[in-house]
């Protein structure tokens, strides 16, 4: 029967031989590796005095062990997983950025078209304003109002206000002016 010292020597020799067989990879000499390896060997009921037990353990735990020099398989796995994830994330991210830019451009184009239509509508409303006083066109009122509203339109454009709402307010002002003039006639 082997003594405890002889058993420890066999385990140490098997471990060192397993480390030699996995060269150029080298395990870091930390206690977490020792605990992980022995826990795996115990859980799987492997013989700690056999080199194959350690080689099997290294193959199974290679991703969770700490290495001084990483094995080729671990390096390959890390490179492949990093590249794949990066490429997929990169593709997804670039597609999202592209679609966001496209949506923003479409929205800006739509707003620009609406603004142009609103400016044209405002100019038409301003140009069509023809007040009447004493059954005759009031040219002075027309010129003054058109200058005032044109200046307000230019200010609204410079301040980048909502031109659709501004045109609605202008139409309401013009309608109110006509209604006030009509009341004055009666």
Q: Kindly report, residue by residue over 112-123, the tens digit of the pLDDT.
A: 999 999 999 999
| pLDDT at residue 81 tops 70 | no
**Residue-level pLDDT at 87:** 54
Alpha-carbon distance 164 to 121, whole Å?
9
Pick 134 or 105 by higher pLDDT.
105
**Placement of tokens 């080199």 in the chain:** 51
**Residue-level pLDDT at 97:** 87
Alpha-carbon distance 65 to 27, whole Å?
8
Contact 129, 136 (CB under 8 A): no
Q: Which residues make Cβ contacts (< 8 Å) with residue 121, sequence separation at least 6?
A: 167
**Placement of tokens 């350690």 in the chain:** 54
pLDDT band at 168 (very low <50, low <70, confident <90, very high): very high
Q: Which residues make Cβ contacts (< 8 Å) with residue 139, sequence separation at least 6?
A: none
Report yes or no on whether pTM surpasses 0.85: no
Q: Kindly report, residue by residue over 84-105, the tens digit of the pLDDT.
A: 555 556 777 778 888 999 999 9
- Looking at residue 44, the DSSP 8-state letter turns out to be T
- Which region among 50-54, 162-166, 169-173, 182-186 has the lowest average model confidence (pLDDT)? 182-186
């Amino acid at each position: 029967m082997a003594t405890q010292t002889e058993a420890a020597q066999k385990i140490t020799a098997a471990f060192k031989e397993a480390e030699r067989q996995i060269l150029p990879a080298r395990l870091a000499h930390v206690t977490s590796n020792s605990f992980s390896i022995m826990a795996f060997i115990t859980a799987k009921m492997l013989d700690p005095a056999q080199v194959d037990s350690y080689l099997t353990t290294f193959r199974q735990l290679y991703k969770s062990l700490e290495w001084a020099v990483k094995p080729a398989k671990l390096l390959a796995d890390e490179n492949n997983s990093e590249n794949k994830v990066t490429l997929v994330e990169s593709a997804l991210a670039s597609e999202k950025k592209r679609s966001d830019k496209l949506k923003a451009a479409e929205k800006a184009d739509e707003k620009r078209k609406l603004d142009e239509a609103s400016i044209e509508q405002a100019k038409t409303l301003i140009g069509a304003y023809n007040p009447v006083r004493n059954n005759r066109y009031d040219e002075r009122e027309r010129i003054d109002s058109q200058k005032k509203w044109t200046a307000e339109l230019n200010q609204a454009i410079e301040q980048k206000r909502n031109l659709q709402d501004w045109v609605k307010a202008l139409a309401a002002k013009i309608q109110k002016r006509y209604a006030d003039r009509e009341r004055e006639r009666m």
